Amino acid sequence: MLIALCLLRFAVLPYYDNRLNAVLAAEAYPVSPAVREFHQTSFVADMHADSLLWGRELDKSRRRGQLDLPRLRAGGVDLQVFSVVTKVPWGLNYEANADDSDILPILFIAAWRSPATWFDPKQRALVQARELSRLADRSSLSLVLRRRDLAADGLRGLLALEGMHALGGRADNLDEFFAAGYRMMGLAHFFDNEIAGSAHGQAKHGLTELGRRLVERMESLGITIDLAHASATAFADTIAVATRPLVVSHTGVKATCAGARNLSDEQLRAIAGNGGVVGIGYWKGAVCDASLAGITRAIGHAVEVAGIDHVGLGSDFDGSITAAFDSASLPQLTASLLASGLSKAEVGKILGGNLRRVLDSNLPE
C-alpha cells in the first residue's frame, strides 16, 4: 500500500500534471524595456487558475505546471484568483456531462490529502481553502477577504469556487464557505447542479429557486458571482436578478472561436450592461488559436463589443490546458496588446483595472 501511494505521489501525479498543464516552447514575443516597465507598474490580475488542485507547494519555483508564486512575481502579477475544483466527471467534454461520476478521488489520493476529501466535494473545497491560507502564512502572499485588502502591497490571492455543487444543495453551506475565505463563486462547472445549469450539462437548465436565493445571499455577503460555464439560460436568469457586477472569469468569444462555453456578442453586451468583466482565456477551447495573436484577437473582439471597461484576463492556468506561455511570461501578452493598437490606458484596464473596479464594488467592507 505504501509503495502504491509513493508511486502515485512521486511518479503518476507529476506525470499527469506535466502532461495536462504543459507550456509550449513557443518563440518569445519581444518585450521592450519600456513595455516591461509599463507592465510591472500596472495593476495586473488574473481571474482564474486551478493550481491548488494539483497539491504542489506553490511557494517554490518549479518546472511543473504553469503557475507558482515565484513565477507570478516574475510575471508582474498583483492579484491571482485561485479557483477550487471539487468534482470532474469521467469522459469530460464540452457538450453534455452527467453528474454521476468523478475522476478526482484518484488525484486527491495521489496528492496525499485527507481521506475526508477523497469522495466529498465540500471537504475538497474546505481543504483547498485551508491550503491557500497556509500558503499565505508561510509566504509573502496576502489574501483578499475585504475591500481594503486590495490595497495591500505585493502579491495578493483571492479564493474562488468553481461550481456550487460543492454546497451539496444546502444553503447554509454558503456561509461556511464564506467564512473559509471564498469571495468568488461560479454557479456551475461541467454538469448541472441544484443551483444552476451548466453549458456542458445534460439539461442545461436555468437558475433554480435555490439558486435565486443564493444569488441574493452571495451579493449580500460580498461574494462575486462568476458565470463561466453557466448555461445560456442560467446566464440570462442571473443577469436578470443581479444587482452587483458579475464576472465571467475565463472564457472565449464565439466570434473568434465557436464553442459551447464561449460568449455570444449578446452575452458580452449583457455583462457590459451589468457593469461586469469578462476574462479571456489562453487555451485552445477558448480562443481556437492559442497563441499570443489568437488571445489578443479574442480580447480585441470583446473590447469592440463589450467596451474597454468590461474585459480582463482569465488564463485558466493549470486547468488541464496547454498554454503558449506561463505566468512568468505575462509581459509578452502586454506587448502583444499594445502592438495591436490599444493605448496604455486601455491595456491597463484589461490587465487588471477592470477586475479591481468590480471587486472594489463587491467585496465586503
Per-residue confidence (pLDDT) for residue 26, from 0 to 100: 63
Is residue 2 in some structural domain?
A: no
Backbone angles phi, psi at 40, to 5 degrees: -65, -25
In a domain, 296, yes or no: yes
Q: Which residue, among 75, 10, 14, 12, has the nearest Cα to 49 in the 3D structure? A: 75
In a domain, residue 9? The reply is no
Residue listed under C-alpha cell 509566504: 139
CATH of the domain at 53: 3.20.20.140
DSSP state of 132: H
Half-sphere exposure (Cβ direction) of 199: Cα atoms closer than 13 Å: 17
Cell triple for 250: 475565463
Give the per-residue pLDDT at 125: 98
Q: Which of 134, 121, 163 is nearest to 58 (CA)?
A: 134
Residue 12 within any structural domain of the chain: no
Nearest to 253 by CA among 228, 276, 220: 228
Question: What is the reported pLDDT for 224?
Answer: 98
- pLDDT at position 237: 98
Cα–chain-centroid distance for residue 154? 20
Asked whether the whole model's pTM tops 0.95, one would answer yes
Closest CA to 321 of 113, 9, 118, 53: 53
CA distances 245 to 77, 239, 360, Å, are 23, 9, 10
Domain membership flag for residue 21: no
User: Domain range holding 92?
Assistant: 31-362
**Residue 11 covered by a domain:** no
pLDDT tens series, the chain, 365 aa: 778 777 778 787 888 888 999 998 766 778 999 999 999 999 999 999 999 999 999 999 888 899 999 999 999 999 999 999 999 999 999 999 999 999 999 999 999 999 999 999 999 999 999 999 999 999 999 999 999 999 999 999 999 999 999 999 999 999 999 999 999 999 999 999 999 999 999 999 999 999 999 999 999 999 999 999 999 999 999 999 999 999 999 999 999 999 889 999 999 999 999 999 999 999 999 999 999 999 999 999 999 999 999 999 999 999 999 999 999 999 999 999 999 999 999 999 999 999 999 999 999 99
Residues 338, 332: Cα–Cα separation, whole Å? 10
**The total number of structural domains that make up the chain:** 1
Query: β-pairing, 156-162 with 79-85?
Result: parallel
Cα(64)–Cα(98) distance, integer angstroms: 31
Would residue 14 count as lying in a domain?
no
Residue 8 belongs to some domain of the structure: no
